[in-house]
């Protein structure tokens, strides 16, 4: 066992930064230079800072199914360059102050395409390289299994403790992620673009919110997927509060639909849970149960259309009017798949209400309006949880735990098929995501979900094992009514 910096066991209330020296490359100077060592206190931002994380586009080794690691032989495919260009168009209105990127070819090219003609600084940071996988690098996945046997199995099933060539790659990656944050948060900027790789971006998100190496592969990112993190300074000058507007939003330009079964460590998901936030109502802050308005109806129809690519066997929803209406639209479109030309096999969808998904009766009337405004706000907000007293938060948390356990039991039932759709409110789904990740109830406000959005949880080892967050707050399917990937700070 190697001795690791305490970044691997960081808690949300502690500083996520350490003092490191590492090489940095800048486009302006086009030369290698040493970054100044910075203390935790000097690295904490004094003003709100937004960090947008992007994974590189599809590479030649992605396409071939090779293990890339930190090797630099792989380049973007034509598809990968197209993905990067679409990302450029989607982020063209964002006024980034600086771009940090891995210098590896696949990431560097993606960053240069997205950055376009911007004159602001571009920094090539070697610590943003992909995870170091030593002897695994360059092998096809099947070759890794044949050549390394037990070690490859451990890499797939227990990566946090995976060891190769005398190294613990995931532990080293977590330490390196802390070094990356040291430079990103210390930079004098309010809006930062970071272009890197799947594993290192997972480590960046995890270390920012205090998750250890056991969370590797729990927060995946597709090619050119985007994550948005807001760092809000604390009044006491301590570690900044981190608020995720979107967590691994899988963009429209990714190789596959966000509901297509993904893989984790080379293993396909055996079961899948799709969390659908019900369509918007006129006044969700009201104490009355609100039906969807016209926008909500459109959102539910767009969601139902997206889910046609998935054979839905079961829908579980809360008892609220908006949720049951959304579930009804999805069910009707699924059952009409034949006449819509999707397939000729009749579809029957079992729809069931689950009281544990209801939250309206938990939140006091006096808090609903303030929470509604906070959840709908377009700018940085991190205060919806603070509107609730401890008893209310505990009640919400305990109910969501029961709901999560019931959903897993239902998903384990072979009669539900491979995918289950869950329809409810944003607050209910945020609670389920936190339960999936086994987070503390204080972490509920780390996430933001919009009306009509979907979030996807994969289960590579079945519902009895840990779930993998494929994407959250996906709204690209809403077309002209989609929510911008980033919001202005």
27 is in an annotated binding site: no
Mean pLDDT computed over 294-310: 94
Say whether 56 is catalytic.
yes
SS3 330: helix
Residue 65: Cβ within 10 Å count: 12
Strand 98-101: give its sheet, edge to edge. Answer: 32-34, 23-26, 121-125, 98-101, 191-196, 49-55, 226-232, 241-249
Q: Which of 427, 454, 432, 421 is nearest to 327 (CA)?
A: 421
**Cα–chain-centroid distance for residue 218?**
9
Q: Indicate the pTM of the whole model.
A: 0.84
* Tokens matching residue 275: 């969390």
Say which CATH topology domain 263-481 has. Rossmann fold (3.40.50)
Judged by average pLDDT, the poorest of 188-197, 213-222, 363-372, 476-485 is: 363-372
Mean pLDDT rounded to a whole number for the chain: 82
Location of each CATH 3.40.50.1240 domain in the chain: 6-249, 263-481
78 is in an annotated binding site: no
- Residue 479, by phi and psi: left (phi above 0), alpha (psi -120 to 50) or beta? left
Q: What is the pLDDT of residues 443-481, one digit of tens each?
A: 887 888 889 999 999 998 889 888 999 888 888 889 889
Burial-class residue 294 by CB neighbours within 10 Å (0-12, 13-18, 19+): exposed
Q: What are the CA-CA distances from residue 49 to residues 67, 187, 283 (Å)?
A: 34, 10, 31
* Tokens matching residue 297: 């109806």
SS3 66: strand
Q: Which of 6, 18, 29, 56 is catalytic?
A: 56
Residue 36: Cβ within 10 Å count: 10
Q: What is the pLDDT of residues 152-182, one digit of tens each?
A: 999 999 999 999 999 999 999 999 998 999 8
213 is in an annotated binding site: no
55 is in an annotated binding site: yes
135 is in an annotated binding site: no
Query: Is a pLDDT exceeding 60 seen at residue 34?
Result: no
Say whether 130 is catalytic.
yes
Q: Which of 18, 130, 241, 278 is catalytic?
A: 130
Total residue count of the chain as it appears in this document: 489
CATH of domain 6-249: 3.40.50.1240
Q: What is the pLDDT of residues 91-148, one digit of tens each?
A: 888 889 999 999 999 999 999 999 999 999 999 999 999 999 999 999 999 999 999 9
Helices and strands counted in the chain (H then E): 13, 16
397 is in an annotated binding site: no
Return all residues near 65 (Cβ < 8 A) that are at least 6 apart.
Answer: 140, 141
237 is in an annotated binding site: no
């Amino acid at each position: 066992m190697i001795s690791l910096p305490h970044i691997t066991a960081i808690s949300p209330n502690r500083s996520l930064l350490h003092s490191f020296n590492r090489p940095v490359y800048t486009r302006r100077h086009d030369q290698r230079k040493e970054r100044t060592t910075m203390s935790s206190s000097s690295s904490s931002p004094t003003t709100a800072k937004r960090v947008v994380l992007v994974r590189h586009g599809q590479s030649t080794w992605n396409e071939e199914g090779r293990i890339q690691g930190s090797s630099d032989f792989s380049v973007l495919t034509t598809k990968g360059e197209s993905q990067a260009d679409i990302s450029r168009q989607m982020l063209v209105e964002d006024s980034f102050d600086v771009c940090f990127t891995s210098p590896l070819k696949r990431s560097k090219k993606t960053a240069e395409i997205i950055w376009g003609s911007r004159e602001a600084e571009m920094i090539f940071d070697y610590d943003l390289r992909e995870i170091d996988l030593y002897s695994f690098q360059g092998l096809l996945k099947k070759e890794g299994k044949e050549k390394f046997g037990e070690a490859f199995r451990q890499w797939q099933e227990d990566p946090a403790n995976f060891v190769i060539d005398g190294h613990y790659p995931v532990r080293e990656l977590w330490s390196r992620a802390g070094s990356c944050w040291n430079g990103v948060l210390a930079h004098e900027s309010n809006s930062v673009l970071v272009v890197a790789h799947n594993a290192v971006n997972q480590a960046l998100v995890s270390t920012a919110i205090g998750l250890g190496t056991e969370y590797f592969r729990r927060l995946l990112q597709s090619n050119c997927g985007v994550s948005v993190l807001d760092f809000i300074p604390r009044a006491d000058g301590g570690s900044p509060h981190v608020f995720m507007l979107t967590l691994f939003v899988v963009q429209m330009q990714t190789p596959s639909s966000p509901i297509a079964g993904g893989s984790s460590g080379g293993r396909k998901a055996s079961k899948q849970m799709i969390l659908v936030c019900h369509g918007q109502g006129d006044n969700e802050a009201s104490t009355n149960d609100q039906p969807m308005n016209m926008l909500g109806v459109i959102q539910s129809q767009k969601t139902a259309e997206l889910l046609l690519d998935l054979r839905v066997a079961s829908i579980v929803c809360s008892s609220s009017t908006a949720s049951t209406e959304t579930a009804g639209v999805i069910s009707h479109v699924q059952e009409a798949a034949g006449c819509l030309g999707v397939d000729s096999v009749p579809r029957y969808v079992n729809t069931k209400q689950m009281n544990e998904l209801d939250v309206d009766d938990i939140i006091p009337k006096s808090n609903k309006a303030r929470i509604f405004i906070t959840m709908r706000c377009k700018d940085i907000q991190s205060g919806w949880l603070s509107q609730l007293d401890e008893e209310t938060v505990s009640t919400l948390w305990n109910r969501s735990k029961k709901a999560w356990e019931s959903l897993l039991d239902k998903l384990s039932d072979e009669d539900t098929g491979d995918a289950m759709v869950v329809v409810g409110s944003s607050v209910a789904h945020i609670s389920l995501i936190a339960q999936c990740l086994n987070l503390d109830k204080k972490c509920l406000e780390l996430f933001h979900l919009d009306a009509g959005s979907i979030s996807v949880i994969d289960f590579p080892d079945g519902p009895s094992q840990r779930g993998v967050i494929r994407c959250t707050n996906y709204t690209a399917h809403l077309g002209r009514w989609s929510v911008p990937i980033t919001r202005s700070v």
